[in-house]
Amino acid sequence: MVAWARVLPPSTTHPASHWLMTYSSMDTASTGSSFAIGLAVSEDGVKWKKMGKVLEAGGIGCWDDGGVSRRHVIFWDGQYLMFYEGANQKGAHAIGLATSKDGFTWTKDTHGSNSQPGGPIFAPHLQDEDGWDRGGASCPHVVNVGDSLGLYYVGFDRTKKVSAFGLAVSAQNDIRCFHHA
């Protein structure tokens, strides 16, 4: 199974001379099944070669131990950034960060936030019991806003029956610190 393909075409703004496609897939090799993120490359944007899994669920007890799935990749300040949706075994969704110098080898961010080492960089707004995005933050899409980044996401309420689009903005030049707009 492959789903939620995202493509980064060749550009003069990043070093890759080929097309990069990230996609979600079901990782059945690990204990239980969970979503993982794969990579495919293309010279022409038509014929693709799968390169395999590049990001997987965290270890038991991690914020993303239930899997990683939808993501958005950009090139920023000399590196590729992957903002990805992760979920824990209880179904709590948040957004994490992975980095890469070449677009092929990815490393999950280890700085974390929300008091979780290596944890999400953006999580649901838990302070408000009836908050519109208390139930989760998912589907990241990031855009450059001068010296900051704008993170568009889908948030859902605690019942997980109502969803809406949200926007968070990074602190100037800090890709790990997003604030609800």
The reported pLDDT for the residue numbered 38 is 97
3-state DSSP: the chain helix, strand, coil percent, rounded to 5? 0, 55, 45
Tens-digit pLDDT profile for residues 70-124: 999 999 889 999 999 999 998 889 999 999 999 999 999 887 665 565 789 998 8
Going along the chain from its start, the domains and CATH numbers come out as 2-180 (2.115.10.20)
The reported pLDDT for the residue numbered 146 is 82
Percent of the chain with pLDDT over 90: 55
For residue 143, the Cα-to-chain-centroid distance in whole angstroms is 13
Q: Is the pLDDT of residue 50 over 70?
A: yes
Q: Is the pLDDT of residue 66 over 70?
A: yes
Q: Please report which residue ranges of 112-162 form alpha helices under DSSP H.
A: none
Tens-digit pLDDT profile for residues 16-36: 889 999 999 987 775 567 899
The reported pLDDT for the residue numbered 125 is 73
pLDDT mean over 41-61: 94
The reported pLDDT for the residue numbered 117 is 59
The reported pLDDT for the residue numbered 113 is 62
For residue 42, the Cα-to-chain-centroid distance in whole angstroms is 22
Give me the chain's average pLDDT, please: 88
Tens-digit pLDDT profile for residues 154-165: 999 888 889 999
Helix (H) or strand (E) holding 34: strand 34-42
